[in-house]
Amino acid sequence: MNKLIYITYQVFPNIKANTLQTIRMLEQFVINNIETELIFPDRDKSNLSKENIFNFYNVDEKFIIRKHKHYLPFGKFGSTKNKLSFLISSFLWSMFIVFKTMRKVESDTVIMTRTHWVSYFLSNYKNKIIYECHKFSKIDNLLFYKIRNKNNIIVIFTNKELMNSFNLSKNIKNNSIILNSSFEEKYFEDCQISKLDNSVIFAGNLTRFEEERNLDFIIEAFKDARLNKYKLKIVGGPDSVAKRIKQNVLETNIEILGRLSHKNTVKEIQNSEIGILINSPNLHSQLHTSPIKYFEYIRGGLKVLAVDFPAHKKLPSFNNLYFYKYGDKEDFIKNLISVSKSKFVYNEEITNYSYKSRVDKLLGHIARLEGLEPPTL
């Protein structure tokens, strides 16, 4: 692979974890000497330059960025949360941008996306197509059926349960690969680590799919006298949600830091002892999620206390993953105290979950499908 174009309906810069993952993947392609280009819509009509975007994500390895004007209905009529408006806009923009882009693209250029309509329209071309599928949807299921006989499409799933939730043809399944989320190694190198006793952290966006993550449950638990000697840090945005939470928290053992840069978030993780995984009980959170922060917690030397959703139980444990019953404050408190008394166990397998390893695995998978020797990286 010499050139890769990433076409997506995401918006950059953005605090959402999915945009961070996209940027980190693109950086790794550049490191592998692959000419890399990002194409996305200017949905929020921002005037930010590509340098602003690079600075927002602390990008060291630069790639081409092309931001296209967005004249479609999403955000023009009613709330930007309007699902129908989003679906129509995504469909139309995907059709337009694929046609426009592919007129000038050579046949050996690989096209990557995490937008299902983009992958569908790309399937009409002979180029190698990589589609990152991160959640279940009926549209995806339909589109997988439509492209069932295509040999040029590789699908990335975040876990086996997500892959098995779709009715995939043998052809698509054989071309698929399961890749968990990852951490960025450069932020964990040569860092001064000073872990604070009984320090607990939640790091990540405070909302998911426009819903808050049930952090009020954790905050209520920390009001219990048994957790007085523990300190909870909550790191993440949107800033409006962080501000609302901060205004309602009076306890001195709870600190709301709001959104920090990725680099500074990692510092806060490394200074903590226990990381919290919590989500609202939707299909994705319960069965299909692969949280970036989980791998950052483990790489940062944290023990992890997670709500007992099946998706969390399928994560590689590294001997540092513990659970509490969803919605059970008493169980959360008892397990947090128990976890604080346990020792962190270093497991070198965590190195297999860096973004470098994620891209290496993908490139190796592509090489095997083409009957070639995997690249030496």
Based on the fold, state whether residues 36 and 159 are members of the same structural domain.
Answer: yes
Q: Is residue 376 a part of any domain in this protein?
A: no
One-letter amino acid of 60: D
Same domain, 135 and 271: no
CA distance 275 to 300: 10
Contacts of residue 183, Cβ cutoff 8 Å, sequence gap at least 6: 292, 295, 296, 299, 353, 354, 355
pLDDT value for 79: 46
Q: Provide the pLDDT for residue 296.
A: 97
3-state secondary structure of 350: helix
Q: Is 300 helix (H, G, I), strand (E, B) or coil?
A: coil
Residue 27 shares a structural domain with residue 39: yes
CATH code of the domain covering residue 229:
3.40.50.2000
* pTM for this model (two decimals): 0.92
Work out how many domains the chain is built from and give that number. 2
pLDDT at residue 275, as a whole number: 98
What are the residue ranges in the chain where pLDDT is below 70?
45, 73-82, 190-192, 208-212, 372-377
Could you tell me the residue range of the domain that residue 149 belongs to? 3-182+354-369
Q: Give the H or E element holding residue 138.
A: helix 138-146
Same domain, 141 and 211: no
Do 147 and 15 lie in one domain? The reply is yes
Whether residues 195 and 142 fall in one domain: no
Dmax over CA atoms of the chain, in Å, equals 65
pLDDT attached to residue 189:
81
Residue 339 belongs to a domain = yes
Same domain as 84, residue 65: yes
**Residue tagged 């995490």 (tokens):** 114
Q: What is the pLDDT of residue 73?
A: 60
- Domain-located, residue 377: no
The reply to whether 73 falls in a domain is: yes
Residue 374 belongs to some domain of the structure: no
Tell me, yes or no, whether 103 and 55 share the same domain. yes
Q: Is residue 43 included in any domain, yes or no?
A: yes
Same domain, 162 and 198: no
Residue 275 in contact with residue 302, Cβ under 8 Å?
yes
Is residue 135 located within the same domain as residue 233? no
Closest residue by Cα to residue 209 from 258, 262, 281: 281
With a CB cutoff of 8 Å and minimum separation 6, the contacts of 42 are 67, 68, 69, 70
pLDDT at position 375 is: 54
Residues 262 and 157 reside in one and the same domain: no
Euclidean distance between CA atoms 219 and 15, whole angstroms: 23
Q: Is 79 domain-assigned?
A: yes
pLDDT for 77 = 46
In terms of domains, do 98 and 215 share one? Answer: no
Return the bridge partners of 231, or none: 199
Structure confidence by residue, pLDDT tens digits, 299-319: 999 999 999 999 999 999 999
109 occurs within a structural domain: yes
Cβ-contact 181, 323 below 8 angstroms: no
